[in-house]
Structure 1
């Protein structure tokens, strides 16, 4: 009887033992996330570091001061969301949608956002150092006083974007559409603007233009340039445009 009681006690203890997070001796991959519909939800201050948000709908969500470093959010919808001061460093945002969103003062260093949509977004004071933004759409976006050192915006749509007082040192804008863009007092040392058409753009007060690459770039008669800086008119082979600062 004593042996039987002992055996039953051992079996009972084993039945309540915590289960190991393994399946067939292999660790179980666990990736938390808010995938799916979370429109208008409140994620303010939440720690979502490393989570998967890919393909989810977070339109109009509250994400102020959220910790989102390294999140996987390709094709996610953040339209009109408030991500003021959010930390998204190293996030994967390929083809994500941020049109109308607030990303002011956000930490976006090293994000991968090729083809992402930032139309009319508020990105004032945000840090986009080293960001991969090839083909991204920043039409009418406000990037005033943002930091974009070494960011790659090749082929991006910057139509009507505000880049006034931004730091663009070493950034790449090759082939970007900068029609109507404003770069007043921007710092552009070592930046590359190859083949950019600055139609109706405002480039007055740019700093470091003599150290930037404007190969193949051109302007229109309505473009405002620094007083001592010239670029050829679009549609002409070599004719320089000596357009006075406005």
Structure 2
């Protein structure tokens, strides 16, 4: 085993050129003050076994890179470009990717717990099965994104653009979905209990068979939205415009909590619940992100490889 601590990279093998190119791209994209630590281990000359990235790299260019299973631990990659990147199974726990572009990237099965993606772009990205509990997704763009089966419990998605996104079977319990644009989004069979959907645009969204128990829909727009089979026990629909919603039954509405400003289709009528206040839905505090690792003494690039 040999180690090279130098800004220059040596050739590792023809099959490892893709990984070498990723390192070179990071070094070129980062500023002179950027501090990046890399560790590469090879199962053989053709397959990358582990990629670990940490430190700071603002505006890094990683579009189209194969970073399958990469571990970004406590990293700061603000305003990075990862368009079309392969991040399947990657770990982005506790890292800061605010303002970064993940459009059309593959993050299926990625670990994103406690990470900050404020203002990031995930348009058309694959986030199916991703774990993003407690993540900050404020004002993110998720138009056309695939979040089927994703775990977003406690995530803050205030002001997100989710038009046409697929969140079927996703877990969004105690999440913040206030002020979102989720027109034509698919929430079928999703768990959205105790979440805040206030003042959101959910026109033509699909909530069929979703769990909305204790969720807050106050001030939201739901024209053309489908609530067929949705569970709405003590759902706060005060001031919500459900006049154009589909699939609603009197049984569902009777279990929800409305007021004189609730607009319902047809002859449906709501009830006023005791103990429902304007701040009733309070999301639990998201888990604290893990502390970043202690940086090594050497801040140079480190490439570890095996010669044959």
Unaligned runs of 5+ in 1: 1-20, 23-29
Q: Of the two structures, which has the highest relative contact order with CA contacts closer than 8 Å and spacing of 6 or more?
A: 2
Post-superposition Cα deviations, 1:15-60, rounded to whole Å, max 9, x if no partner, equal xxxxxx99xxxxxxx6322211122110100110011112101110
Q: CA RMSD in A?
A: 2.4
Q: Which has the larger radius of gyration?
A: 1
TM-score (norm 2): 0.65
- 1:214 matched to which residue of 2? 232
Distance 2:142 2:232 in 1: 25
Q: Where does the alignment leave 5 or more consecutive residues of structure 2 unmatched?
A: 1-40, 43-48, 266-308
> Contact 1:197–1:234 at 8 Å: present in 2 too?
no
Which 4+ stretches in 1 moved above 3 angstroms?
Answer: 226-236, 239-242
TM-score (norm 1): 0.81
Within a 5 Å distance, the mapping from 1:134-153 to structure 2 comes to 134-153=153-172
Matched length = 215
Counterpart in the other structure of 2:89: 70
Question: Could you list the per-position Cα deviations for residues 48-76 of structure 1 after superposition, in whole angstroms to 9, with x for gaps in the alignment?
Answer: 00111121011100100000000011011
Residue of structure 2 equivalent to 1:120: 139
Match of 1:8 in 2: none
- Within a 5 Å distance, the mapping from 1:11-160 to structure 2 comes to 31-160=50-179
CA distance in 2: counterparts of 1:50 and 1:233, whole angstroms: 45
SS of 1:35's equivalent in the other structure is: strand
| Alignment check: 8 A CA contact 2:234 2:256 kept | no
Contact 2:128–2:147 under 8 Å retained in 1: yes
C-alpha distance in 2, partners of 1:233/1:140?
28
